Amino acid sequence: MSRTPLIVHTIPALRRALDRITKKNATTALVPTMGALHDGHVSLVRLAKRRARKVIVSIFVNPTQFAPSEDFNSYPRTWKADIARLTAEDVDLVWHPDVKTMYPDGFATTILTEGPATVGLEDRFRPHFFRGVTTVVGKLFTQCRPDFAIFGEKDFQQLRVITQMARDLDLGVKVVGSRTVRDRDGLAMSSRNVYLSPVERSAAPELYRAMKETVRRLRDGDPIEAAVAGGAEILKMAGFTLDYFEVRHGETLAPIASLKDGPMRILVAANIGETRLIDNLAV
């Protein structure tokens, strides 16, 4: 029988818990989350367990990465089910600060990154997003001081931005990306998939199909422009409105002219009804 993880809400309690779990010099891996855990998160936890002796999961719906018009208030919160999942996975510690603990009155520091945070993908459509993510993840790293931190590749630009930040600020944590987990029909798992109506849910896998078709055409030697236009057309036919559907360098996320210039990645953000989905695929 698995034991409920230690759950802490304050910085002093976190310090004591970290002292306890790292007593025998145990390595730690942190999985930062906003809760509403699904099988994708479970795969992050399992990867964390393979990397380190002790696993910490943070659950914090971070207000600073949502614009006022976005879904902070309605973001799914499923605390009981989340703890049940983390108990089943034998997680050691859950860090669950409230907003006042993370951002006390008078909080006045922001971490701003350039490089992958300013390549014109998510940052173009959600200009507030990365400063919110880097500030909170920077804090999670200094609070939890993990040896490893695991992030899903589904948020590929976020993974690149956090990797850059950890390196630039010598945060002493190895940032590890974890493969995207998909439903059987190809839809990448996301806490926001619960927003999809049945009709939207049945159209959503077209996102994966459009990326796969574009990968196929690129590998067959089609010019990038034509392959991308074909992918975008699949999505329009399926009822999506596109924010972007682009081929970029798989590490720097800079625009790329041909397969010879380095690893390529397709990155897409598209809206179906009220829901915005993002996904990506290596070429």
> Known catalytic residues?
41
Helices 156-168 & 129-144 angle (0-180, nearest 10): 50
Could you say whether residue 135 binds ligand PAF (CB under 6 A)? no
Could you say whether residue 113 binds ligand PAF (CB under 6 A)? no
Could you say whether residue 116 binds ligand PAF (CB under 6 A)? no
Specify the residue, 64 or 214, whose C-beta has the smaller distance to ligand PAF. 64
**Residue of 62, 113, 134, 135 that binds ligand PAF (CB under 6 A):** 62
C-beta of 261: minimal distance to ligand PAF in Å?
29
**Of 6-14, 133-141, 177-185, 194-202: span binding ligand PAF (CB under 6 A):** 133-141
Q: How far is CA 50 from CA 19, 27, 44, 156, 214, in A?
A: 21, 11, 10, 21, 33
**Of 1-9, 130-138, 228-236, 269-277: span binding ligand PAF (CB under 6 A):** 130-138
Could you say whether residue 136 binds ligand PAF (CB under 6 A)? yes
Q: Is 280 left (phi over 0), alpha (psi -120 to 50) or beta?
A: beta
Specify the residue, 136 or 215, whose C-beta has the smaller distance to ligand PAF. 136
**Of 7-15, 30-38, 247-255, 271-279: span binding ligand PAF (CB under 6 A):** 30-38
Q: Decide if 149 contacts 172 (C-beta within 8 A).
A: no
Give the DSSP H or E segment for 140.
helix 129-144
Specify the residue, 65 or 214, whose C-beta has the smaller distance to ligand PAF. 65
C-beta of 217: minimal distance to ligand PAF in Å?
30
**Of 19-27, 28-36, 102-110, 232-240: span binding ligand PAF (CB under 6 A):** 28-36
Could you say whether residue 155 binds ligand PAF (CB under 6 A)? yes
Cα 228 off chain centre by: 24
Contacts of 117 (CB under 8 A, 6+ apart): 123, 130, 134, 157, 161, 164
Q: How far apart are CA 38 and CA 75, in angstroms?
A: 14
Give the DSSP H or E segment for 13.
helix 11-21
Q: Are strands 275-282 and 264-272 parallel, antiparallel or unpaired?
A: antiparallel
Q: Side-chain half-sphere of 43: how many Cα atoms within 13 Å?
A: 17
What's the token pair of residue 119? 């390549």
Across 64-152, the runs of DSSP E, i.e. the strands, are 93-95, 148-152
Could you say whether residue 178 binds ligand PAF (CB under 6 A)? no
C-beta of 200: minimal distance to ligand PAF in Å?
21
Q: How far apart are CA 63 and CA 133, in angstroms?
A: 10
**Residue of 34, 48, 173, 204 that binds ligand PAF (CB under 6 A):** 34
Q: Kindly give the residue spans of alpha helices, DSSP state H, lying in 145-252.
A: 156-168, 198-203, 206-219, 224-237
Residues 63-82 that bind ligand PAF (CB under 6 A): 65
**Residue of 121, 133, 175, 267 that binds ligand PAF (CB under 6 A):** 133
Could you say whether residue 89 binds ligand PAF (CB under 6 A)? no
Amino acid at position 270, single letter: A
Could you say whether residue 277 binds ligand PAF (CB under 6 A)? no
Name the residues that contact ligand PAF, by CB under 6 A: 32-34, 62, 65, 133, 136-137, 155, 158
